[in-house]
Amino acid sequence: MSKEETESQLISTRQSILEAASKLIAQKGVKNTSLADISKEVGISKGTLYYYYSNKSDIIYDIADIHLKKITEELLSWIDNIEHNLIAEEVLRVVFERISTAETRGKLHLYLISDAVTSNEPLNQRFREKYKEWRIALENGLRKVLKDSSADYRVLSYIILAAIDGFTIQCRLGEETIPIDGIAKILSKAK
């Protein structure tokens, strides 16, 4: 096997491990997902799994990095492509819907946050850094779209991040439909 084929296989197996672990964590949570579960889901031995990842924390960090990077890229891409003639209500509605209602990503996000808040300091640090990045991106995006010199974009960005997390929790609970349109309408007037 050539060096390129070997490297490609390593990347493919690592990706399979992360996809399987993400799926299991979204279903069962971080604490209830074992390395044995992951190796079984991928169809490899536990020893082979250890070749790629020496412990579950390393898998969690890579999953978190991919997850946080994906959300960040989506948010930044969306902000970069905002049409200047969109009304504030539409901007907020799209942000809330895209981030908080994604079923699998929402569950994974909540499980990762739970692990970061309760027991995983390195993961906690990564989330703090990403939340700051997201908040600043939101602030800049709001400034770009709303163009209101009297608006406090910084405060509004904190409210939006808190709302997104709250909506994600409420969507996962599934108790009732969140009136995202109405919430976006109210927040768009709170400048």
Mean pLDDT across 170-181: 79
User: Given pLDDT bands bounded at 50, 70 and 90, which one contains residue 82?
Assistant: low
Tens of pLDDT, residue by residue over 95-153, are 777 666 666 667 777 888 888 888 888 888 888 888 888 888 888 877 877 777 777 88
pLDDT tens digit string along 39-64?
Answer: 999 999 999 999 999 888 889 888 88
Mean pLDDT for the chain overall = 81
The sign of the CA dihedral 97, 81, 109, 116 is negative
CA distances (Å), origin 44, targets 26, 28, 41, 60, 183: 20, 20, 8, 18, 47
Query: Which pLDDT score, from 0 to 100, does residue 20 have?
Result: 95
Q: How large is the C-alpha radius of gyration of the chain?
A: 19
